[in-house]
Structure 1
Amino acid sequence: MADPDGGGTLDVLLDVMAEEFSILTRSPILHTPAESGLEFEDVTFPSEDGTPLEGWLIPANSADTIIIMGHPQWCSRAGLPSHLEPWKSLGAYGGNDFEVNFIPDMKILHDAGYTVLAYDHRNFGHSGAANNGFTSNGIFESRDVVGAVQYVRGRQDTGSMRMGLFSRSMDCNATFFAVARRPDVFEAVRCLVGCQPLSVRVAVEQRLLSMGIPLDRLPDLDERIRRHISFRLEDLSPLPAARKVTLPTLLYQVRDDVMTRPSDVQSMFDSLPAVDKALFWIEGTTRRWDGYCHFQKEPARVLDWFERHLT
């Protein structure tokens, strides 16, 4: 990238990137389970710190198992309207300009016999605002994961159900942070499926490279981000938390995702102390959103993981 004024234009761009990184635009909930003929209950429950969270409880007849679904950054429980602006621009540089709809995933899980709790994290969807609207790549959001597990345990109709977690991207990071911080809450959780956990530093590096910005400006951007949210990029890494996750864990990732590098999720997988763990790669695409939509197209491996650990 050329910078004709000797740094000024690039400095302004880094300021804008830091501000956009700090506070995210909410996406609307454009779909509901009713579109797939599913009965559901609108529910609200508190996060660990009291932030009100909104979700859907989708019961399966005679189910004694439940799957808790969070969502990636920028999304809501329903998905992401990234075929529309301004959400289209969020991942368009990586070819991610198509809609993500999570309702088919809920239908697949329901039809496989699982009750489903799908909810919005703080500052997303219909859930409450918190932490001045800042995103933290899972640190603050880990409180929502704790709240969701406690909510399921506290309901009379779900309290004794065997529980699994289906966590994507930011929500997977949040789950790592939550399990590391509150292992007592997760003693009753049987397993985790994690789709595309992400180190923010790696994602930011990839974004800078895609824009032609030299990586020697990364420390400048890092400092700008810290001034907004009080965290450095390294503070947001889920890797240290992953080293404390002993749940049976299945991870998967688009191998050639241009928004990250394979080494990032591989390092998280290698760090997991879980005895029972697996990792598979999605091939033939560079689009991160294909990872988010993979389950509804090829659900067998994820369903097998849940069946093995929840029955």
Structure 2
Amino acid sequence: MVSAALLSLVAVGCVLAMEALHRAEWPSRGPYTAVITWQALGLAWGVSTIGALLAYGLSTYELGAAAGLVALVTDVVTGELLLTELSRGLEGVSRIAAVVLAIALTLVLFYGLVSSFVHVVRVRRRHHDLLELVASEHPDVPGARVVDHPAAAAYCLPGVLRSQVVISAGALAVLDNRELAAVLAHEHAHLRQRHDLVLLPFSSLKRAFPRAPLIRTYYESVALLIEMCADDQARRTSSSRELAMALLRFGAAGPAPVPAGAMAALEATTPGVVRRVNRLLRPDTELPYHAGAFIMGGSAFLLAAVTCLWHIPV
């Protein structure tokens, strides 16, 4: 029962920490560190919540959540589990319910991850096939394909074998050469660092719990940080002003549709565009190295602590 209580405290603490991280201002100074922190908190929340339910439901074994699962499988095969727990009355029923709830939560999270991955792969495959028909090479845009569309849009389609950067004719009309280079550098940063895979766990959570506004809010926070990471990569070859002006020109040109599964330079519905532009034009001091190391160390310690709590046999 001690491990169940501690894992419950960790799960609640992760939720509070995610809310504090969402409201904090330092993530824009160290977006890479913040994204890793989001990942650690999300993983720790899921593992600790499932572990707390299992630790309570399997507390009669006095083996902890991990070893208790092995004993559970044995008793399920022999049929002893149900008879033993039902003989304990209401307490036994509550333990069975906790185990069932843990299994259900695991399946929901697994379903969200797998279904999101399959959906994105299918959508990207169809869009890649469509680009073969409607997109073309352009001498002024090396490494990208141009779509003859009046709306200003630029996005990338990540993939293992055929990643692609796409830009519309409308975008070419509103951007000068240096702004275009900044946008292309931004999109290539998404592809090179596989930001789509970084965002996948959060999009799977959103898919598993579609009616949870808090998860959608946190997803948008992580998505904004990923865009900032790509902005920082683009600033290595282009000036901040050029990228900021490109974002403003995209916004002034009006909303442009972004295909599902793509990562766009600018989405019309994204409220963080102003934050990105302000960050580019008036950059804050970067997160100090020692602060980033402390946060990363804390994230690693959190995951290690959750793993250890799964094995406490009390």
* Global fold match (TM > 0.5): no
Q: Normalising by structure 1, what TM-score? A: 0.24
Give the greater-gyration-radius structure (CA).
2
Kindly indicate whether structure 1 or structure 2 has the higher relative contact order, using CA contacts under 8 Å at least 6 residues apart: 2
- Structure whose residues are more often strand by fraction: 1
- Structure whose residues are more often helix by fraction: 2
Q: Normalising by structure 2, what TM-score? A: 0.24
